Amino acid sequence: MSTLIGVLGAGQLGRMLALAGLPMGLGFRFFDSNPEATAGQLAPLVVGRFDDADALAGFARGVDVVTYDWENVPVTSVREVARHARALPSARALAAAQDRLTEKRLLARVGMRVAPHARVDSLDQLRAAAAEVGLPGLLKTRRLGYDGKGQVVIRREAELEPALASLGGRNLVYEGMIPFEREVSLVAVRSRRGETRFYPLTENRHREGILRESRAPWQAPGLQRAAERQVGQLLEHLRYVGVLCVEFFVHDGRLVANEFAPRVHNSGHWTIEGARTSQFENHLRAILGWPLGDTAAVGHALMVNCIGSMPRPDLTLTLPGVHHHDYHKAPREGRKVGHVNWVADSPVRREAIARKLADYVAS
């Protein structure tokens, strides 16, 4: 009987976990509140509410290990599942990542530089935060924001009160704006046995708060070493198991940690074709206690997100070496519906293909 992996959440990340695990003989079972969730096309899908203890218990029964593909899975759901099966990564890591204030404090505690920030639960606190941290700044919800949602840029004092009202008035965090040169991320993996590996730094380009393109490796040996040291300390502090990604700003030649995701990550999708072992396969190896795979890049990778709709494969595939990843999700404005990967033998060749792909990929 094959090893059975349970996954809380059945979106595209869960789908890609299954695509990585099925060739290794692994079985999958998904849990999601959406009966049309895309990973359900590949393996059994248990449909239920994330606060339904009986449904979660039934889902977890008989699985070897449970993981998740979504950082907003309720912590209570993970703890409930953990009563019936091993759940990795731990609820502790998930809880820290779900609260931006807790997250910032944790990153600082393990030695990372973070943006100046302050808790906000009232207009007086926001005014004090803006005076202390400075303008411009970002006012963010402490929970549930992603892809640019749940945040407002504040440039002038007159914008403080409207920004506060637009985000509900409490449970917020105010952050100083970092005049960064670029955004990078480090995808790391730690196994049940404590074995740890790091992928090359990835340069990420966003628009309207959504990741549009990733390039790897971003070759900066000093910052690679610094990122590995800092993320390694976070992994050890959390006694983490699985793939984790930390997003950084590069400012004045130094790293400033922005946030971390306790799961496989969009900026690591290039690893499917661009690394010796993908982040998805390594996540599965880690939570099963198997030896980790080589994280080295095999060339100069480009990942382009398809936002809103998928390009025609008969167009993208005219470019030699392009890999077309369709999540089988209905087109919708602002929605990630797939991505395209390409691996070049040089950064120059990579940029030539990037310009051609821009003509095909929806943006």
Q: Can you tell me the mean pLDDT for 60-74?
A: 94
Q: Report residue 363's pLDDT band, with 50, 70 and 90 as the boundaries.
A: very low
The burial class, CB within 10 Å (0-12 / 13-18 / 19+), for 169 is: middle
CA distances from 103 to 33, 70, 99, 106, 119 (A): 27, 16, 6, 5, 12
Please, how many CA atoms are within 13 Å of residue 308, restricted to the half-sphere of its CB?
Answer: 8
CA distances from 278 to 17, 281, 331 (A): 10, 5, 26
Q: Where in the chain is the domain with CATH 3.40.50.20?
A: 4-87
Flag whether pLDDT at 356 surpasses 90: no
Q: Can you tell me the mean pLDDT for 142-168?
A: 86
Residue 354 and residue 342: Cα distance in Å, rounded?
Answer: 9
Domain 116-176 fold: Dna Ligase; domain 1 (3.30.1490)
pTM here is 0.95
Across 18-27, 143-152, 245-254, least confident range: 143-152
How many other C-beta atoms can be found within 10 angstroms of the C-beta atom of residue 269? 30
Residue-wise pLDDT for 273-329, tens only, equals: 999 999 999 999 999 999 999 999 999 999 999 999 999 898 888 888 899 999 999
Q: Report residue 90's pLDDT band, with 50, 70 and 90 as the boundaries.
A: very high
- Average pLDDT, whole number, for the chain? 94
Please give the pLDDT value at position 362: 55
Q: Report residue 361's pLDDT band, with 50, 70 and 90 as the boundaries.
A: confident
Q: Where in the chain is the domain with CATH 3.30.470.20?
A: 182-357
Residue 270, amino acid: W
CA angle 218, 293, 216 (to 5 degrees): 15
Q: In the CATH hierarchy, which top-level class contains the domain 4-87?
A: alpha beta
Flag whether pLDDT at 151 surpasses 60: yes
Is domain 182-357 classified as CATH 3.40.50.2000? no
Residue 78 host element (H or E): helix 75-81
**For residues 194 and 242, is the Cβ–Cβ distance under 8 A?**
no
Flag whether pLDDT at 145 surpasses 70: no
Q: Can you tell me the mean pLDDT for 202-206?
A: 96
The burial class, CB within 10 Å (0-12 / 13-18 / 19+), for 166 is: exposed
Flag whether pLDDT at 71 surpasses 60: yes
* Higher pLDDT pick, 42 / 145: 42
Q: Where in the chain is the domain with CATH 3.30.1490.20?
A: 116-176
